[in-house]
């Protein structure tokens, strides 16, 4: 008959208890890690969406600014060609057009009326 050492049996039980405790702690840590990763991912996705929106709005602003500058330059170019006679509110071309380039005064008048 072989007798089991009671201390050996006790150590085996302690070993199983420690192993189960470690498994439980490992499970808790893995669950916590998954929650942390999930919580971190959401703000990162939100930040990414905000960055994309800011980039899109910046492009739109640049396009509007470019369009505004082009329209302003065109307006300045056109207005520099004419002096408005304040008494008659009629455009007067200070430099007669070169042959083949200009409009008649009637066409110029219509152009200015359409602009108003």
Report which DSSP code applies to 100.
T
Report whether 26 contacts 34 (CB < 8 A).
no
pLDDT tens column, 55-109: 999 999 999 988 888 877 776 666 666 555 566 655 555 555 554 444 444 554 5
Q: Is the overall model pTM greater than 0.75, yes or no?
A: no
Q: DSSP character for 87?
A: T
Q: Which two tokens stand for residue 105?
A: 């005064």
Q: How far apart are CA 54 and CA 47, in angstroms?
A: 10
Phi, psi of 83 (to 5 degrees): -115, 130
Token pair for residue 94?
């200070």
Q: Indicate the domain borders of the chain.
A: 1-67, 81-116
């Amino acid at each position: 008959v072989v007798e089991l050492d009671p201390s050996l049996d006790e150590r085996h039980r302690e070993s199983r208890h420690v192993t189960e405790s470690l498994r439980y702690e490992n499970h808790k840590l893995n669950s916590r890690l998954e929650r942390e990763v999930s919580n971190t991912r959401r703000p990162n996705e939100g930040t990414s969406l905000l960055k994309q929106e800011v980039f899109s709005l910046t492009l739109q602003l640049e396009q509007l600014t470019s369009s505004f500058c082009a329209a302003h330059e065109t307006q300045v170019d056109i207005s520099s060609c004419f002096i408005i006679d304040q008494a008659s509110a009629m455009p007067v071309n200070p430099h007669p057009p070169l042959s083949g380039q200009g409009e008649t005064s009637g066409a110029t008048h219509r152009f200015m009326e359409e602009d108003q």
